[in-house]
Amino acid sequence: MSEPASDAATTGLWYAQRGDGEALVLLHPGGAGVDSRALTPQFEALSHRFHVYTPEQRAHGRTPDVEGPLSYELMAQDTIAFIDSIVGHPAHLLGISDGAVVALTVALRRPDLVRRLVLVAGVFHYDGWLDGVLDGDPPSFLRQSYTELTPDGANHYDVVVAKLAAMHACQPTLTTEDLQKVQSRTLVMVADDDQVRLEHALELYRNLRNAEFAVIPGTSHGLLVEKPDLCNLIVSNFLGNDPVPTFAPIRRATDSTS
């Protein structure tokens, strides 16, 4: 079993790694004060089957901010550099919330680096969020969480909050035509009481060429920590097994992809 690492000098992203097997990169939610600790249940459980990496994006966790605005495109390029230089070969990607947007963007920009793709509680266009969920100030506990790890100092918190607010106001802006270019077999997962509009999640699923869809009952935008055993079982089955033959396919009746 690989032990946690602390820094990736070649990419600037702090990361940890654990486990053996096929590479799986976990991409944490966004928001000032959110970092890879949000994926602890997945890191611990999935590392029994996969070699799991948890990079922290710029301005999140132990990775410092970079001068200039934040964008999904920049975080995707950071992640591409991470896979190229640290993982060293194609990997499965799992992203939640903002991390799902980053994962989707990586799959579009560098399909050669992405094996299977898991998009949890994410959007492909910013109008996919329910009205009001991105409004207002972040919960107070996120400031404390940010302060615990950041190398930029506690006073930088408000700078990051402002950058994220600007990003969320106008990004992402992917189209259904973009979605149809995704080559990876993809699992779209969402809560039944999510911050993402269920209709938007369905639109994401329906416009991916090779996708599966899971709604986790009795959960919210925090589904991965609210029902970790169920979510981890679904994710592990999707990543580790081939599709099963189905008896009465409609969507997949003429689909020969796997």
Q: Please give the share of the chain, as a percent, with pLDDT higher than 90.
A: 89
**pLDDT tens digits, one per residue of 86-130:** 999 999 999 999 999 999 999 999 999 999 999 999 999 999 999
Residue with tokens 């709604």: 215
Query: What's residue 50's pLDDT?
Result: 98
**pLDDT tens digits, one per residue of 214-238:** 999 999 999 999 999 999 999 999 9
**Helix, strand, or coil (residue 197):** coil
Q: Please give the share of the chain, as a percent, with pLDDT higher than 70.
A: 94
Query: What's residue 136's pLDDT?
Result: 87
Question: Which residues, including other chains, have CB under 8 Å from residue 53's CB and lie 6 or more apart?
Answer: 15, 16, 17, 23, 24, 25, 26, 82, 86, 87, 91
187 strand-pairing partners: 118, 212
pLDDT of residue 60 exceeding 80, the answer is yes
Name all domains of the chain by residue range, CATH numbers in brackets. Answer: 17-240 (3.40.50.1820)
Residue with tokens 């259904």: 176
Q: What is the rounded distance in angstroms from the CA atom of residue 63 to the CA atom of residue 83?
A: 16
